[in-house]
Amino acid sequence: MNLLRLTSRRVYSTHAPKISNGFIGAIGNTPLIRLNRLSEEVGSDILGKAEWMNPGGSVKDRAALYLINDAEERGLLKPGGTIVEGTAGNTGIGLALMCRTKGYNCIFYMPETMSQEKVDILRLLGAEVYLGPVVSYEDPEHIAHQAKRHAESLDNAIFTEQFHNLANRRAHFETTGPEIYAQTDGEVDGFVCAAGTGGTLAGIAQYLKQMKGDNVKVFVGDPTGSALHSYFTSGKTSLESSDVATVAEGIGQKFVTDNVAASEDLIDGAFSISDEESIKMVYRLLDEEGIYVGLSSALNVVAATKLAKQLGKGKKVVTILCDSAHKYQSKLFSRQWLESKDLLTAIPKHLQKYAIL
Ligand code: PMP
How many alpha carbons fall within 13 Å on the CB side of residue 177?
A: 23
Question: Could you tell me if the CB of 195 is within 6 A of ligand 1?
Answer: yes
Task: Please name the helix (run of DSSP H) or strand (run of DSSP E) that holds residue 151, with its range, or none.
Answer: helix 143-152
Question: Could you tell me if the CB of 197 is within 6 A of ligand 1?
Answer: yes
* Ligand 1 nearest-atom number relative to CA 323: 3
Angle between the 295-311 and 275-284 helix axes, to the nearest 10 degrees?
A: 100
Question: Could you tell me if the CB of 196 is within 6 A of ligand 1?
Answer: yes
Dihedral, CA atoms, 347, 352, 354, 356, nearest 10 degrees? 120
95 CA → ligand 1 middle, Å: 14
101, exposed or middle or buried, with CB in 10 Å at 0-12, 13-18, 19+?
exposed
320 CA → ligand 1 middle, Å: 10
The protein residue whose alpha carbon is closest to atom 7 in ligand 1 is 250
The protein residue whose alpha carbon is closest to atom 6 in ligand 1 is 250
What would the 3-class secondary structure string for 223-264 be? ECCCHHHHHHHCCCCCCCCCCCCCCCCCCCCCCCCHHHHCCH
How many alpha carbons fall within 13 Å on the CB side of residue 86?
A: 24
pLDDT tens sequence for the chain (357 residues)? 444 455 556 666 666 668 988 889 999 999 999 999 999 999 999 999 999 999 999 999 999 999 999 999 999 999 999 999 999 999 999 999 999 999 999 999 999 999 999 999 999 999 999 999 999 899 999 999 999 999 999 999 999 999 999 999 999 999 999 999 999 999 999 999 999 999 999 999 999 999 999 999 999 999 998 889 888 888 664 554 456 668 999 999 888 999 999 999 999 999 999 999 999 999 999 999 999 999 999 999 999 999 999 999 999 999 999 999 999 999 999 999 999 999 999 999 999 999 999
Question: Could you tell me if the CB of 51 is within 6 A of ligand 1?
Answer: no
CB 97 within 8 A of CB 122: no
311 CA → ligand 1 middle, Å: 25
Q: Which of 60, 118, 217, 331 is catalytic?
A: 60
pLDDT of residue 5: 53
309 is catalytic: no
Please, which residues have CB within 8 angstroms of residue 336's CB and are 6 or more apart in sequence?
A: none
The protein residue whose alpha carbon is closest to atom 8 in ligand 1 is 250
Length of the chain: 357
Question: Could you tell me if the CB of 88 is within 6 A of ligand 1?
Answer: yes
CB 192 within 8 A of CB 218: yes
186 CA → ligand 1 middle, Å: 25
Q: Which of 60, 61, 66, 192 to mutate to test the pocket of ligand 1 (most atoms within 8 A of CB)?
A: 60
Dihedral, CA atoms, 256, 260, 263, 266, nearest 10 degrees? -90
pLDDT of residue 254: 84
